[in-house]
Amino acid sequence: MSSHIIFQCPVCSSRRVTAPVPPAAPVRCDGCGWSRDEGQADFQSDSLCRCRICGCQDLWRQKDFPPALGLAIVATAAVASCIAWAWYQPMLAIGFLMFAALLDMGLYSFMGDMLVCYRCAARHRKSQMRDEHPRFDLETAERYRQQDLKRRSM
C-alpha cells in the first residue's frame, strides 16, 4: 500500500502531493527541490508516528472523505427537496433529504482514515497507523495555532 502525502512545501509554499516509495523514502517538493529525509525515525513498528513533513508527533485521525462530495450530496438534496416542497409533495421532499443522509452516512462509514498534522496540516493518506491516534482535539489545535501566531509576530 503506497502512502500519499498532501502538504504545503515549507520553502516555496506550494501545495504538493507525493507518494514516497518505500514509505520511509525521503519526502521531496518537485517545485523547489526541498526534501526531508528522516526515514525510519518517522515510523514505529511500520506505523506512522511523526509527520513526514515537519516531524511533529501530534497527529490526529480524520476520515479520508472528500468534504466537497458530502457537501454536493447535501446541497443537491436540499435543492431537490425545495422543489418538491414547492410542488406540494412533502413526502418526496423528505424522501430526498433522507436518501441524502443515508447515502452520506454510508459513504462516510466505508471510507478509511488518514492522519493530519496539527503543526503543518499535512495529510498522510493510506499510511499505516496505530489505533492510539486520537480524533481531532480542539485544545491541541489551538495550542499549535497560538504557537504559529507567536512565530509570525516575531
The pLDDT of 35-47, averaged and rounded, is 86
pTM for the whole structure: 0.82
Write the pLDDT tens digit of every residue in 56-87: 999 999 999 888 988 999 999 999 999 999 99
* Alpha-helical segments (H) within the chain: 67-86, 90-110, 138-153
The pLDDT of 81-95, averaged and rounded, is 97
Please name which of 133, 144, 112, 121 lies closest in space to residue 48, comparing C-alpha atoms. Answer: 133
> For the chain, which residues make up each domain, given as ranges?
4-62+114-153, 67-109
